[in-house]
Structure 1
Amino acid sequence: MRLVVVGGGMVGARLVEDLVAGDGDGRFTITVLGDEPGPSYNRVLLSEVVAGRASEESIRSAPLTHPRVRHVTAAATRIDRQDRVVVDSTGERHRYDFLVLATGAAARVPEVPGLDPLPGGVHVLRSLADAREVVAGCADATRAVVVGGGVLGLEVATGLRGRGLGVSVVHPGGSVMDRQLDAGAGGVVDLAMDDLGIGRHLGVGLAQVRSEAGSITGVGLSDERVVPTDLVVITAGTQPRTGLAERAGLPVRRGIVVGDDLASPDDRRIFAVGDCAEPPEGGSGLVAQGWAQAERLVHRLLDRTGAGATAAPAAPDDVVKVKSATLDVVTMGLSGPGARRPDDRALTLSDPGAGRHLEVVVRDGRLVAATCVGAGELATRLVLAYTQREPVPADPAHLLLPVRQPVAAPADPGAQVVCRCTGVSRARIEQAVADGAQDVAAVSATTRAATGCGGCRDEVCALVRDLTAVPAEA
């Protein structure tokens, strides 16, 4: 069976790795078309590269070399559905029995004067090349404006501030991270940003970008103010890359429309996963959702060819953590108007002076939502309770006062999930070390722990250090 995967990013690479691992009978030959050279890398950690806390090499994946997998560095330009062929930018034709679109998403750039095309000094952050350009731009800049106050915007803003730049964030919402945080939590984050010396222009949009002699001089806001700057980084959301599917006549709304089985309703041989897809539940924009889709699709493809695989129930994929050395923000679970039920039990503890805001929501004896600002240790325990669907006290106060009634620990300590993005348990890491993995890099290569959002890396380092009794490489 010939499988063509368009897109060699985090989701496409994961799908290929899992399919090769599960296809013991060698039923599939796989062609991967990707327009970026080199092995895949962890796009989630690009802000860590900008901040100087990760190198380019440290976020790259080990290249997958397998006799039944061919990697082609070329963009797919056309799908011939009748002949079942994908044509790439070199003119080569790739025949398929099944086709997976993992084309990802592009950065959304506001349609304002001065941004078409992007001038020097203005950057997006969707690739390693983008991160490289942002870091290079810091060398000659003293002031930066980050357009967009979502998760990525905060990560970039704190990273640039750590490099010594004066930083301002422009965001149309009334508070930062307003997709995940209510006004109370957002206000506490605002105060934390004040302490970091990061300015904010909230409730306004970008109106124009000003430049002189090819250099950025400032940005104009929708309220007619002008913010001087030498560097602009746009983190204003993403747009699914759907052009290839549209040209092939596949149904597209915001993303490529697929059903619960991830297949296009108009062509059951074509699937879409990751940021480019629009499944019935909608797209979260989080890599955990794309990885879960890849896992589901691998099982479906193996089932179609008689392998009889069964996918495990998926863990929640909506935990959001700001990757920053100076901001501590974690959210999980339901959010937005209409998300809560009248019988939900909720408790909020807000202490802006201490930089702390906590909220937990309990339903039917399970934690269904939580917001943690400035409470890292508690956030870790709540994420575990949420992702493992552990029973919790009916009174949410007990979640915030663990001395009185702590959340129950797993009956089997080895079953504790250390890496939520990849579902790697403590027992799996212990087994990897027992099998010879003696540092974090080897454990990650064997188990995939710490290859997602990076939030568990310190925990993985500590566990490896304890298990090997020698310092683990950070």
Structure 2
Amino acid sequence: MVGSRFAAELTDGDGGRFRVTVLGAESAQPYNRVLLSQLVAGQYGPEALALPSAASERVRVHGGTVALAVDRQDRSVLASDGSRHRYDFLVLATGAAARVPALPGLDPWPRGVHALRTRDDALAVVAATAEARSAVVLGAGVLGVETAVALSRRGLPVTVVHPAPTLMDRQLDAGAGRVLAASLARLGIEHRAGVPARRVRTRDGRLTGLDLDDASVLPADLLVVCTGTQPRTDLARAAGLPVGRGVLVDDRLASPADPRVFAVGDCAEPPEGATGLVAQGWEQAARLAARLRATGTGPGALPRRRDRVADDVVKVKAAGLDVVTMGVSGARVGDPALRTLRLSDPDAGRHVEVVVSGQRLVGATCLGDAEVAAELLACYTRGTPVPADPARLLLTPLAAVAAPRPAVTELAEDAVVCRCNGVDRRTIDRACREGATTVEEVAARTRAGTGCGGCRADVCALVEALAPVPAGTSPQPGPGCEKSVTAVSPLASAAVTSAR
């Protein structure tokens, strides 16, 4: 997703200075992989995930063309179709692949077993549900939980298997994990936490079940592997670039071995670490493009980061589950200056934790209460002062205990509306004044609402309030205002830029 965003950012306002070649392993139109679980659930069709391509005619996209090798001496990239592409700057946006555990029975890959990383993967899972009688999801991170709910919505009995004792253990502590487990149970989804998988059972090359470490067996004819991702670093490693978990880059996103080679998105390992969330990759794309536009071949620094508060907001996209985490977790931080308060009520399906520093909310976890989660998210992203007694945040929406949260139409012009893309209200106002009359038109002009979809209701409200309406007609916010999500971006194997 980040390679395509970089190409658009670089050629937007560069004065015709750059030509950009994008080599993409997938042949499809750019699409939003953040919403793949929603495609499995049937919430969206494939076309709804499509993202706009770079508008400039100076961007050439070679879909279905894999970058095979980088010759840094010649400053060129060899592609799978035999073509060679020269560059002045090379941007690796190779993303990440699904990580597949080394389980007996997975080599060769049996029929009935699927990963979930691309749109083709999602469509294959959907096709498999037509004949499947029961499903197992291996891995209960965010994607695993979303996928389990998606398969359940298609009428399949589903069991989630997770090696750690706590579901979504990267985001949740044990108390929150128990509430999530109870919520899944209410949706008819079983779970086996703390029990690693031992072997995939097959017969005649087809999946029949999954053996667990406790000697139990889960019969299944559909297994979806959601055990994390692995940055794609083979191209960089073969080119002699330093690689850790990802492609190592400095604070300018450049390889320490070659100042003309950069890495962004899921494949990159910057000094501050990688979040695995698309907001970080999009911010990197925007900052790197701004640097190249401003400095060309010079050593200029990247522009200052904008507030990266969106980089650590996680919202589970699954019908029937309200799970939102942001900032630091009290269970993982031993700083005595941070005050942590929590309420956990598994029987009611609710768990709320807040972490406060002074008058500022620096972290929160909320399960089972969408209204409180929305207020906490607004407090976290907008810096609203917390009440003198932060415990009041655990049960009562912020509007009842502090200054009411203003409607989006009352926000200051510089208030951020779309966290994923850093779009403020001023930018959306301008798009409406310049003729955008639907949410989709605003998204095309500003990218607001094209990430996780959490801001879509606010964008819709601004469209209804600000978009020009022809005389004698009613406001038309456009298709999608009733939905909570939309789309933005493609998979690139390598984005290659050549300065004129």
Could you say which residue in structure 1 is the equivalent of 2:308? 315
Change (3 A) 1:118 1:308: closer
Could you say which residue in structure 2 is the equivalent of 1:431? 430
Shift of 1:457: 2.8
Could you say which residue in structure 1 is the equivalent of 2:361? 367
Residues 1:228 and 2:228 aligned together? no
- Whole-Å separation in 2 of the counterparts to 1:250 and 1:121: 38
SS in 2 for 1:343: coil
SS in 1 for 2:312: coil
Residues 1:47 and 2:37 aligned together? yes
Shift of 1:407: 6.4
Could you say which residue in structure 2 is the equivalent of 1:451? 450
- Which residue identity does 2:173 align to in structure 1? D
Could you say which residue in structure 2 is the equivalent of 1:405? 402
Could you say which residue in structure 1 is the equivalent of 2:135? 144
- Which residue identity does 2:253 align to in structure 1? L
Could you say which residue in structure 2 is the equivalent of 1:295? 286
- Whole-Å separation in 1 of the counterparts to 2:316 and 2:303: 34
Shift of 1:166: 0.4
Change (3 A) 1:308 1:105: closer
Contact 1:295 1:311 in 2 (8 A): no
Could you say which residue in structure 1 is the equivalent of 2:479? 473
Matches of residues 228-377 of structure 1 in structure 2 within 5 Å?
Answer: 228-305=219-296, 310-311=303-304, 313-316=306-309, 317-335=311-329, 339-377=333-371
Could you say which residue in structure 2 is the equivalent of 1:60? 50
Contact 1:465 1:472 in 2 (8 A): no
**Larger deviation: 76-85 or 337-346?**
337-346
Residues 1:180 and 2:179 aligned together? no
- Which residue identity does 2:378 align to in structure 1? L
**Larger deviation: 162-171 or 349-358?**
349-358
Could you say which residue in structure 1 is the equivalent of 2:60? 70
- Whole-Å separation in 1 of the counterparts to 2:460 and 2:152: 27
Shift of 1:50: 0.5
- Whole-Å separation in 2 of the counterparts to 1:35 and 1:184: 42
SS in 2 for 1:382: helix
- Which residue identity does 2:135 align to in structure 1? A
- Whole-Å separation in 2 of the counterparts to 1:236 and 1:419: 29
- Which residue identity does 1:434 align to in structure 2? R
Change (3 A) 1:452 1:364: same
Change (3 A) 1:278 1:346: same
- Which residue identity does 1:473 align to in structure 2? P
- Higher relative contact order (CA closer than 8 Å, sequence separation 6+): 2
Could you say which residue in structure 1 is the equivalent of 2:200? 209
- Whole-Å separation in 2 of the counterparts to 1:60 and 1:429: 21
Q: Which runs of 5+ in 1 are unaligned?
A: 1-9
Could you say which residue in structure 2 is the equivalent of 1:7? none
The one-character-per-residue Cα deviations of 1:295-317 (angstroms, maximum 9, x if unpaired) are: 22112212322799944523311
Residues 1:36 and 2:42 aligned together? no
Shift of 1:436: 2.4
Contact 2:329 2:364 in 1 (8 A): no
The one-character-per-residue Cα deviations of 1:334-378 (angstroms, maximum 9, x if unpaired) are: 238653410212211222222111011111322111001012122
**Larger deviation: 273-282 or 390-399?**
390-399
Change (3 A) 1:22 1:471: closer
Contact 1:346 1:396 in 2 (8 A): no
Change (3 A) 1:58 1:321: same
- Whole-Å separation in 1 of the counterparts to 2:302 and 2:251: 17
- Whole-Å separation in 1 of the counterparts to 2:133 and 2:445: 42
- Whole-Å separation in 1 of the counterparts to 2:154 and 2:344: 31
Contact 2:386 2:402 in 1 (8 A): no
Could you say which residue in structure 2 is the equivalent of 1:200? 191
Shift of 1:223: 1.7
Could you say which residue in structure 1 is the equivalent of 2:420? 421
SS in 2 for 1:87: strand
Change (3 A) 1:336 1:174: farther
Contact 1:361 1:369 in 2 (8 A): yes
Change (3 A) 1:82 1:189: same
- Whole-Å separation in 2 of the counterparts to 1:66 and 1:380: 38
Change (3 A) 1:22 1:470: closer
- Whole-Å separation in 2 of the counterparts to 1:179 and 1:309: 30
Change (3 A) 1:245 1:467: same
Change (3 A) 1:337 1:412: closer
- Whole-Å separation in 1 of the counterparts to 2:231 and 2:330: 22
Could you say which residue in structure 1 is the equivalent of 2:486? none
- Whole-Å separation in 1 of the counterparts to 2:151 and 2:209: 17
SS in 2 for 1:38: coil
Q: Give the TM-score of the pair, scaled to structure 1.
A: 0.93
**Larger deviation: 440-449 or 170-179?**
440-449
Could you say which residue in structure 2 is the equivalent of 1:160? 151
Shift of 1:181: 0.5
SS in 2 for 1:301: helix
Contact 1:121 1:230 in 2 (8 A): yes
Contact 1:292 1:314 in 2 (8 A): no
Change (3 A) 1:138 1:365: same
Contact 1:302 1:308 in 2 (8 A): no
SS in 2 for 1:86: strand
Change (3 A) 1:408 1:29: same
Shift of 1:391: 3.4
- Which residue identity does 1:391 align to in structure 2? P
- Whole-Å separation in 2 of the counterparts to 1:253 and 1:150: 23
**Larger deviation: 114-123 or 403-412?**
403-412
Contact 1:315 1:387 in 2 (8 A): no
SS in 2 for 1:325: coil
Contact 2:163 2:195 in 1 (8 A): yes
Q: Which runs of 5+ in 2 are unaligned?
A: 468-474, 481-500
The one-character-per-residue Cα deviations of 1:140-195 (angstroms, maximum 9, x if unpaired) are: 01211000000000100001101100000000111211110011111111111110
Change (3 A) 1:193 1:207: same
- Whole-Å separation in 1 of the counterparts to 2:458 and 2:256: 43
- Whole-Å separation in 1 of the counterparts to 2:278 and 2:75: 29
Number of equivalenced pairs: 464
- Whole-Å separation in 1 of the counterparts to 2:148 and 2:68: 36
- Which residue identity does 1:405 align to in structure 2? A
Change (3 A) 1:434 1:65: closer
Over the matched positions of the two proteins, sequence identity in percent amounts to 55
- Whole-Å separation in 1 of the counterparts to 2:236 and 2:151: 37
The one-character-per-residue Cα deviations of 1:65-91 (angstroms, maximum 9, x if unpaired) are: 422111112110111111111111122
